[in-house]
Chain A
């Protein structure tokens, strides 16, 4: 990340950190102190999290001040910049990876493991290998290789984990 963008990212992160630290501190103060059980006040559950909340808020504050000194508070968020970000090739690749993987996680346990795994691997390969410029006919190899890798992965992972490592699969 470029230094200017880093300062902006630091500015946003620091605000989140300060708020998060204060939230942790508030939650810690709300935790029970078991006075009715005559518990030693230095052993209460909220003590250490409260201390950590203060440290996190303080570190966030240092980051906040530093990011402002570097001009990070001038976010300059415009519609065109946001659009450029989402149209960037690497952003697209990241989002596809995350969406496919999160989707796999969401359907885990709801669809049969071997089918879900094969589907995930197949989609992953085809989406990343497919080129819009070429026709579907020219790219049949991608579908074939994706299918073969997907079936082999699904079958071998299912077999190795279930029968060799005796792991119960979802």
Chain B
């Protein structure tokens, strides 16, 4: 514990240079702007920034990416409050109470409370990141191929389950399609080119960054261009800095949303949007002023904003300890870490022990910058929302294009971006979530070698997959996750619990 604290203080001290602090400020501010603009999501921002920073030193590049990530998730609350259009999907729950508050003329207060919620949520997430990453990392050292196989399947199943609340089947289809996409190209045991059909470019596989820039960036551009023009709420923005009493009133909601947001962040692939909705829903259920929710309740607003920003740090826990992303932007962050030669995963505590605490220090710096920048320049930045979409979107597409091309310098990857953009758009229209697809592309690289290795170890015997203790636990959780969405299973559980209750009453 003390060793961890020492590494954290050392890491923080290492970033106290004018250049690093300048990077923190501009990257967070850029993140806020990216988040604010509908059509520019945190995932796209982090993906584009990865392509711009890949020639920088590792710590600088990761610092900039984390600032962009935290800034963008927070920035989306601005357009959610003022436009009723969440800047990023993570701020959809913010709009439910933020926009009615703005319509009542409380836009300034809503922005101030949202900013404070994001700040506190991020801090709670940061503490849990520092606490749990080493613990999970050490625990994961006992994982073998059997466990990694189940973990990959579990990741796809739970992500599909939670990102498609209306129809989990579509979430699972998206996840398994992602797993298939990762099979394209040369496999790493015998260097056999799978599904390449003699196409040299395809034999290198589908790279994650262009696929993500397409699925989250170009798809969003098409989506934005489809809809009519939006209008900004005409209101005076006053009293942005909140009074401490206003915040202290909601301390229970803040702590609950922070913890819930972090835990949801740590679940593979389940991002900030779900964290915000769950935090919001829990706040509404336990609130004394339920009737105010949806009509401009500050409690609802603070719950959503605390939840989504806590999720950012939470999503980094599995990135660092298991090399499995907790959310879509965290997936890009993971890819960026690999590009920079850091290998997150169970061995991180042995290979790069100081890196975890460097990340914690980066989160603290980004959070502080977000809080300061979030409470200042509010009126100036609102003007950015007035830029017409037909002038902004072609510029964004040019950035997507250059971003996809930059890392490997191949026009093929620009094609990948465009194809994934069109696929991503139609998937959205048909209610297929994108996050499981992306998670599948990452987890496929873990699932394939581990399943084959496990089968070789057990000589084709499937029993160890179900009898090894950790494997069995992950398998049962995966099965329960699937069954939990089936009506017959729910009926069975409710009749069983009803029976137990009756028995207990009688006795």
Contacts and interface: CB of A to CB of B under 8 A. Distances in A.
A75 B456 CA distance: 48
Contacts of A34: 190
Interface of A is mostly: helix
Contacts of A29: none
A140 interface: no
B230 interface: no
A84 B23 CA distance: 51
Interface residues of B, number: 56
Contact of B455 (A43, A46, A96): A43
Contacts of B190: 34, 39, 45
Contacts of B218: 101
B222 A52 contact: no
B225 A56 contact: no
A9 interface: yes
Given A93-B225, A161-B402, A168 B409 contact: yes
B285 interface: no
B194 to A, nearest CB: 6
Contacts of A170: 405, 411, 414
B184 to A, nearest CB: 9
B482 to A, nearest CB: 11
Given A42-B455, A45-B190, A90 B226 contact: yes
B176 A59 contact: yes
B304 interface: no
B192 interface: yes
B464 to A, nearest CB: 13
Interface in B446-479: 447-448, 451-453, 455-456, 459-460
Contacts of A32: 192
B414 A124 contact: no
B431 interface: yes
B176 A55 contact: yes
B92 interface: no
A47 B454 CA distance: 12
A87 B444 CA distance: 41
A144 interface: no
A165 B309 CA distance: 29
B15 interface: no
Interface in B362-412: 390-391, 393-395, 397-399, 401-402, 405-406, 409, 411
B430 interface: yes
B1 interface: no
A105 interface: yes
B422 A98 contact: yes
A49 B183 contact: yes
A47 B51 CA distance: 34
A69 to B, nearest CB: 13
A60 B226 CA distance: 29
A97 B194 contact: no
A101 B418 contact: yes
Contacts of A66: 169
A31 B189 CA distance: 14
Residue of B55, B405, B451 ringed by the most chain A CB atoms within 10 A: B405
B281 interface: no
Given A165-B52, A167-B402, A168-B409, A98 B394 contact: no
A101 B415 CA distance: 11
Contacts of B397: 101, 104, 120, 124
B393 A124 contact: yes
B277 interface: no
Contacts of A168: 409
Contact of A1 (B192, B225, B431, B453): B431
Nearest to B195: A27
A63 B36 CA distance: 37
A105 B402 contact: no
B173 A56 contact: yes
Given A1-B430, A43-B456, A108-B414, A94 B448 contact: no
B180 interface: yes
B222 A48 contact: no
Given A42-B460, A56-B173, A109 B401 contact: no
A129 B418 contact: no
A22 interface: no
A6 interface: yes
A120 B394 contact: yes
A125 B456 contact: no
A43 B398 CA distance: 43
Contact of A31 (B55, B180, B192, B415): B192
Of residues B170, B176, B411, B431, which shows the largest number of chain A Cβ atoms within 10 Å of its Cβ?
Answer: B176
Contacts of A125: 390-391, 394
A108 B406 CA distance: 13
Contact of A166 (B55, B176, B448, B459): B55
A100 B455 CA distance: 49
B448 A40 contact: no
Contacts of B187: 45
Contacts of A165: 52, 55, 406
20 contacts: A31-B192, A32-B192, A43-B453, A44-B452, A45-B187, A45-B190, A47-B451, A48-B448, A49-B194, A52-B180, A66-B169, A101-B218, A105-B418, A108-B405, A108-B414, A117-B398, A125-B394, A153-B394, A170-B405, A170-B411
Interface of A: 1, 6, 9-10, 13, 17, 24, 27, 31-32, 34, 39-49, 51-53, 55-56, 59-60, 62-63, 66, 90, 93-94, 96-98, 100-102, 104-105, 108-109, 117, 120-121, 124-125, 128-129, 145, 149, 153, 157, 161, 165-170
Given A43-B189, A59-B172, A101-B221, 9 more contacts: A40-B456, A48-B183, A94-B226, A102-B418, A108-B414, A121-B394, A157-B398, A161-B406, A167-B52
Top 3 closest pairs, chain A to chain B, by CB: A42-B455, A128-B390, A124-B394
